A and B are shown apart, each in its own frame.
Chain A
């Protein structure tokens, strides 16, 4: 963004001002394009490589010539037929869904309490509830390894579910709290004064209003668990292997392009999550 010489004759738009002259504007746009390429290209590149007929991570000459022979579905066949991958998908889903349900339930209740002006020690409690998000995950994983092993929950699904619940809770608390900050508590009171029992009032009045925050929090919690590898590395045995753990092994131990096929699935999954969040947002406006 080079500075233009001389004062502009007419007041330009603020964006224009920042950009300066045409050359500066061009440089600015080109730079932004490059940054977007930097953000997206790595993810895009993986997809064609997952159709590589050769067992390596590079574009072969055949692929560059768009030779049909150079492409194949062998890695997709491999992951679909491989019990290890299907089992880890089941593990990921079981752990992810359970952790999400727990985190969402507990987190939403707590957010309701935190939103109340009467809540004592609010800052401290908030800090504690958010701490799993702040703490470097390697430290959480190390502590959990000792603690869960000592109470007999090492190498169990339950242990991992509890651990992932803890990691997902901050997202639920934050998103629901944020939604509640715009919530008019007079509505609940109105419902109560009309004779609605508290639980009924909650379900019919409060819950629908905070639902977007709850769903977003749940999505974040699920995404956190579904992508979590460090705690799994420390705590899981063979029976609890999840998709990320299997990918980690793929990258570190037994390198195979099959993980690019899994990666492609996960990219599609991420795109779906993004679409769901966008859709929720639009629905909220309408």
Chain B
């Protein structure tokens, strides 16, 4: 087939030998040249975040000013949450991530497994108003290995152009295929989806986690998910839901609230966030245990979790600071000029029907549910 075609290629070419000489020279050059040019600067760390518009906000709000102040270059890597990549790096002893933006449950589990460095609070700078760091952070913002960064929330959103007539308003509507037919986007993890399923199934907000403590409650959640399973497109990266909503690939999707907000204000997308049943969580930063760049990583973490840095991110995407002194610094969106406060997930208006993410529950149950969820998905 192809070989045969290629054998028909030139039978009597001329002057090829010089060509071969040149090729060899080029190859030798390529082999001996100092290939990993960027590695030569020791003063570089790898900061891992969640990509997309949030990644850009972190880059502008933290990474660029950090390099400006310290001269330490920041390599940016994106991931989609979870501990797998850190575990893999520690297991094979090849650590190339330094600072990671984590969900709090992962930070606690990672700490327990010895995957993350413990962090001394005294290393963190005071708040913008002079409050010592230990009092400036919200309580869950200071765990042994994870330092609080931002409040963020998982909500669901829809594209108003693609839903004519009555619009969805409650969590139950998300699961109601009769009232709102069409495909749904959901994150490909068990967390949040189980809570949403129970809320939609009529479990009061304050009883969601006690329901999940029972076998029947979990079965109930999976049964509810079963009702829409064949209409779900599973996303992994936070950048996907706005894309799928804009493309009309789904009529509604769960999403990180900041991504939807940025699509609204920066791209004028007719997206609407449904705050009913939103799951509010704190994002934290942690340092991978055993990194050879521990000093630089600590400096980065201290810089990134300062009130000023948190506020700089908060002025670029609607996630609010985990430090109390950071909140007043978040005024308007740097590019769109929109007042940020009403768009924050923790604002009184939006948080009326919010559920606080019970990360302790997930610390204990994540693995079991990951397994059950992936088996459920594969069936």
Contacts and interface: CB of A to CB of B under 8 A. Distances in A.
Answer whether A and B touch in the complex at a CB cut-off of 8 Å: yes
A253 B79 CA distance: 8
B239 A254 contact: yes
A73 B351 CA distance: 42
Interface size range of chain B in the complex: 35 or more
B96 interface: yes
A23 interface: no
B202 interface: no
B77 interface: yes
A203 interface: yes
B94 A56 contact: no
B78 interface: yes
Interface in B39-98: 39, 46, 51-52, 55, 75-78, 80, 92-94, 96
A208 B240 contact: no
Given A105-B24, A216-B9, A277-B6, A57 B247 contact: yes
B243 interface: yes
Interface in A139-153: 145-146, 149-150
Contact of A239 (B5, B36, B55): B36
A146 B26 CA distance: 31
Interface in A176-191: 178-179, 182
Contacts of B12: 208-209, 284
Contacts of A179: 7
A280 B27 contact: no
Contacts of A100: 27
A212 B75 CA distance: 43
A52 interface: no
Contact of B11 (A154, A156, A284): A284
Main DSSP-derived SS at the A contact region:
helix
B10 A283 contact: yes
B13 A208 contact: yes
Contacts of B246: 56
A244 interface: no
Nearest to A156: B36
A25 interface: no
Contacts of B23: 101, 104, 218
B31 A98 contact: yes
Interface in A75-101: 87, 94, 97-98, 100-101
A225 interface: no
Contacts of B92: 145-146, 149-150, 154
Contacts of B134: none
Contact of A211 (B13, B28, B80): B13
Interface in B192-206: none
Contacts of B243: 56, 255
Interface of A: 55-58, 87, 94, 97-98, 100-102, 104-105, 145-146, 149-150, 154-158, 161, 174-175, 178-179, 182, 203, 207-209, 211-218, 237-240, 249, 252-255, 277, 280-281, 283-285
